[in-house]
Homo-oligomer: A and B are copies of this chain.
Amino acid sequence: MEHASPTAAVLIIGDEILSGRTADTNLNTIARFLGALGIDLMEARTVGDRPEQIVAALNALRAGHDYVFTTGGIGPTHDDITADCVAEAFGVPIGERADALAILQRRYSPDDLNAARRRMARIPDGGVLIANPVTDAPGFQIGNVFVMAGVPRIMTAMLEDVAPRLRTGAVVHARTLRVTGVGEGAIAAPLAEAARTSRDLSFGSYPFGAGSDGEVGTNLVVRGRDAALVDAAIDALASRLAQDGILTVKIAT
């Protein structure tokens, strides 16, 4: 598929992901969010709480894609260094911002708004706030980079404020043909033939149940920006497999 559509990358920030303490779920949430907007997610990186690593990854990704989405490291504790790293990557100053501070002042009493919590009002110069309807402390956008929280519930909520700022593309339609009782090897040749003859579509094969006692088979997924082409391709593939005596079922996902 060609890339007239916007492209994007994700940067997951946090030692807890790399130590295995936390299993990231934000990448999948963002991937599905972007898919619905017709934006092509091209790559993702996960880095630890190390400034040089965050800055290098961010600069590589923002140079290569229309949009970059980061998660993690914008809370009040000493290991929350994302905002400073983003400022460094962009080469701009960072300081306490009146609009961000006003949000925190509405949430916290003067006693509770301690120095640590005030750190969450520090925004790189030129940043535009991203609303956080869950715990108020905002994320921010600077240039083509959207800086969001790591807590999945907050990150997901922030996407609502991000969506209207994005240029969208033609949505990629996906149809799935479920093949049961045979493995990938039995359908590989007809699938490759279909992929060769339909260059505007992508064809994937995702096995399930490998080696388990239950059902074994694979999901054949056809993806493309022209829904009619995708539908025709999935029907043609089903017919072709039927010639080999392989039964398929169209499923929803």
Contacts and interface: CB of A to CB of B under 8 A. Distances in A.
B21 A24 contact: no
A239 interface: no
B27 A24 contact: yes
Contacts of A154: 210-211
A195 B23 CA distance: 24
Q: How many copies does the complex hold?
A: 2
Contact of A44 (B18, B19, B28, B42): B18
Most buried by B among A15, A24, A174, A210: A210
Interface in A69-123: 75-79, 108, 112, 114-117, 119
A167 interface: no
Interface residues of A, number: 70
Contact of A75 (B49, B135, B192, B207): B207
A120 B33 CA distance: 34
A163 interface: no
B135 A211 contact: yes
A162 interface: no
Chain A contact surface mostly: mixed
B117 A185 contact: yes
A206 B223 CA distance: 38
Interface string A123-138: 0000000000011000
Interface string A169-193: 0001010000000011111110110
Q: Which 10 A-B pairs rank lowest in CB-CB distance, beginning with the nearest?
A: A116-B188, A20-B31, A20-B32, A78-B192, A117-B185, A134-B211, A23-B28, A44-B46, A77-B205, A76-B185
Interface of A: 15-25, 27-28, 31-35, 41-49, 53, 57, 75-79, 108, 112, 114-117, 119, 134-135, 151, 153-154, 172, 174, 183-189, 191-192, 195, 202-207, 210-212, 221, 223, 253
